[in-house]
């Protein structure tokens, strides 16, 4: 029997390639070249399934050009690289990797928030430059995490993980805003109180963004929102570039209308707004919130298992759309 053909659009763990090769005719990209749209379309010719990352856009043009494609397994919990209505319309199943990265990503969000509040990288750069000649009472004084008010915008699984860490580990008061309010039991478990977005912006000492990117969340934090925050507040973004207006953020950081920012994601990444690179009061990391070794392996395995399950059982483990009609 001929094996289904799959494309692993980016480099993955060799063990994943090995296990997929027992069931599929596998094409790889272990040089990890980020494929342009036309390169991706060319590599997807005659291919039944693909493993992608957030960098590969699966849109209507691509689907029309690759009519054999039936399933795309994203190795990410976010899937804003999928044009979901187009995929659903053409009967293409999409999947993501929820749950397996929740705690690792929440850990990182907390670390980035703490690094920002306590000016970790700014002080390290000072030390590395050889500028540390004496102790001084006000050297790199930042703001406290314990006892502060933690604001969370987007209260899904990762937001809840950050809330619990703040409330239970650091005695923080946790407030959140979300499209839908959590049920009382979940609020109690996270010790989090629901507030309006305006109240969240005004009261948070440390605001963490964990909402999915969509047309509605584009520039959810712009100049008007930043202006409502306390001058002592920090902003941490581990969600997606584009949720924050980076130009407005750089202006706020420069004018010190907020104290600092921790950014793991950027508009137009991997390019970073040059202004952000020169500002001292921002901690910058290259989209690594889920990057612990075990978690990246679990994400790759889940994406691979979705492909296996689709072709062997006709269903997937973590769907992001429901495929009913097929227009080809
Ligand atoms: C995710 O899982 O969505 C991370 O941002 C990695 O892309």
Domain 102-284 of CATH type 3.40.50.720: yes
Q: Is 98 in the pocket of ligand 1 (CB under 6 A)?
A: no
- Mean pLDDT confidence for 91-108: 98
Q: What string of H, E and C letters represents the secondary structure of the chain? A: CCCCEEEECCCCCHHHHHHHHCCCEEECCCCCCCCCHHHHHHHCCCCCEEEECCCCCECHHHHHHCCCCCEEEECCCCCCCECHHHHHHCCCEEECCCCCCHHHHHHHHHHHHHHHHCCHHHHHHHHHCCCCCCCCCCCCCCCCCCCCEEEEECCCHHHHHHHHHHHHHHCCEEEEECCCCCCHHHHHHHCEEECCHHHHHHHCCEEEECCCCCCCCCCCECHHHHHHCCCCCEEEECCCCCCECHHHHHHHHHHCCCCEEEECCCCCCCCCCHHHHHCCCEEECCCCCCCCHHHHHHHHHHHHHHHHHHHHHCCCCCECCCCCCCCC
What percentage of the chain reaches a pLDDT higher than 90? 98
Give 291 Cα–ligand 1 centroid separation in angstroms: 9
Backbone angles phi, psi at 262, to 5 degrees: -120, 120
- Mean pLDDT confidence for 187-213: 98
Query: Whose Cα sits closest to atom 7 in ligand 1?
Result: 76
What percentage of the chain reaches a pLDDT higher than 70? 99
Whether 265 shows a pLDDT value over 70: the answer reads: yes
Whether 49 and 92 have beta carbons less than 8 Å apart is answered as no
User: How crowded is residue 135: how many other Cβ atoms within 10 Å of its Cβ?
Assistant: 6
Atom of ligand 1 at shortest range from CA of 299: 2
What whole-number distance in Å separates Cα of residue 316 and Cα of residue 323?
A: 11
Q: Is 54 in the pocket of ligand 1 (CB under 6 A)?
A: yes
**Residue that has been written with the tokens 């990057």 in this structure:** 291
What topology is assigned to 5-98+293-313 in CATH? Rossmann fold (3.40.50)
- Mean pLDDT confidence for 127-135: 98
- 179 catalytic, yes or no? no
Give 139 Cα–ligand 1 centroid separation in angstroms: 36
Quick one: pLDDT at residue 325?
A: 54
Four-point Cα dihedral 265, 276, 234, 186, nearest 10: -10
What whole-number distance in Å separates Cα of residue 132 and Cα of residue 177?
A: 41
Q: Which of the following is catalytic: 119, 287, 296, 301?
A: 287
Give 212 Cα–ligand 1 centroid separation in angstroms: 10
Average pLDDT, the chain: 97
Query: Whose Cα sits closest to atom 6 in ligand 1?
Result: 76
- Mean pLDDT confidence for 238-253: 98
Predicted structure pTM score: 0.96
Checking DSSP bridges between strand 173-177 and strand 71-74, what pairing results, if any? Answer: unpaired
- Do 5-98+293-313 and 102-284 fold alike per CATH? yes
| Distances in whole angstroms, Cα of residue 17 to Cα of each of 43, 48, 49, 263 | 17, 16, 14, 32
Q: Is 4 in the pocket of ligand 1 (CB under 6 A)?
A: no
Structure token digits, residue 193: 């109180």
pLDDT in tens, 140-166: 999 999 999 999 999 999 999 999 999
- 206 catalytic, yes or no? no
User: What per-residue string of b and e applies to 286-308 under the rule 16 or more CB within 10 Å gives b?
Assistant: ebebbbbeebbebbbbbbbbbbb
What whole-number distance in Å separates Cα of residue 229 and Cα of residue 199?
A: 10
- Mean pLDDT confidence for 168-196: 98
Whether 327 shows a pLDDT value over 60: the answer reads: no
Atom of ligand 1 at shortest range from CA of 78: 3
Structure token digits, residue 133: 């000649």
Residues 6+ apart with CB under 8 A from 84: 94, 320, 321
Query: Whose Cα sits closest to atom 2 in ligand 1?
Result: 76
Domain ranges of the chain: 5-98+293-313, 102-284
| Mutation choice for ligand 1 from 289, 295, 298, 318, CB with most ligand atoms inside 8 A | 289
Q: Is 77 in the pocket of ligand 1 (CB under 6 A)?
A: yes
- Split at pLDDT 50, 70, 90, the class of 324 is confident
| Mutation choice for ligand 1 from 12, 56, 57, 76, CB with most ligand atoms inside 8 A | 76
- Split at pLDDT 50, 70, 90, the class of 167 is very high
Whether 328 shows a pLDDT value over 90: the answer reads: no
Give 79 Cα–ligand 1 centroid separation in angstroms: 8
- Split at pLDDT 50, 70, 90, the class of 326 is low
- 23 catalytic, yes or no? no
């Amino acid at each position: 029997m001929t094996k289904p053909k799959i494309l692993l659009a980016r480099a993955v763990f060799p063990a994943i390639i090995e296990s997929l090769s027992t069931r599929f005719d596998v094409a790889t990209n272990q040089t990890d070249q980020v494929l342009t749209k036309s390169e991706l379309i060319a590599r997807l010719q005659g291919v039944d399934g693909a493993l992608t990352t957030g960098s590969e856009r699966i849109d209507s043009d691509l689907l029309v050009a690759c009519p054999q494609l039936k399933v795309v397994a994203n190795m990410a919990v976010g899937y804003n690289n999928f044009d979901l209505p187009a995929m659903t319309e053409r009967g293409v199943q999409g999947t993501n990797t929820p749950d397996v990265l929740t705690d690792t990503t929440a850990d990182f969000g907390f670390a980035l928030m703490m690094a920002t509040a306590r000016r970790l990288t700014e002080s390290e750069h000072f030390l590395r430059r050889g500028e540390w000649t004496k102790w001084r009472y006000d050297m790199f004084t930042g703001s406290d995490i314990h006892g502060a008010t933690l604001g969370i915008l987007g209260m899904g699984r990762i937001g809840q993980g950050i809330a619990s860490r703040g409330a239970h580990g650091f005695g923080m008061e946790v407030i959140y805003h979300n499209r839908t309010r959590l049920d009382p039991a979940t609020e109690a478990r996270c010790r989090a109180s629901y507030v309006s977005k305006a109240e969240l912006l005004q009261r948070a000492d440390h605001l963490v963004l964990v909402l999915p990117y969509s047309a509605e969340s584009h520039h959810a934090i712009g100049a008007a929102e930043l202006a409502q925050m306390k001058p002592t507040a920090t902003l941490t973004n581990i969600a997606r570039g584009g949720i924050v207006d980076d130009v407005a953020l750089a202006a706020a950081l420069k004018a010190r209308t907020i104290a600092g920012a921790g950014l793991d994601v950027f508009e137009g990444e991997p390019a970073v707004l040059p202004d952000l690179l020169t500002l001292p009061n921002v901690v910058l990391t290259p989209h690594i919130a889920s990057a612990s070794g075990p978690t990246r392996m679990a994400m790759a395995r889940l994406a691979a298992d979705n492909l296996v399950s689709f072709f062997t059982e006709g269903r997937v483990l973590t769907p992001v759309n429901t495929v009913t009609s097929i227009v080809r």
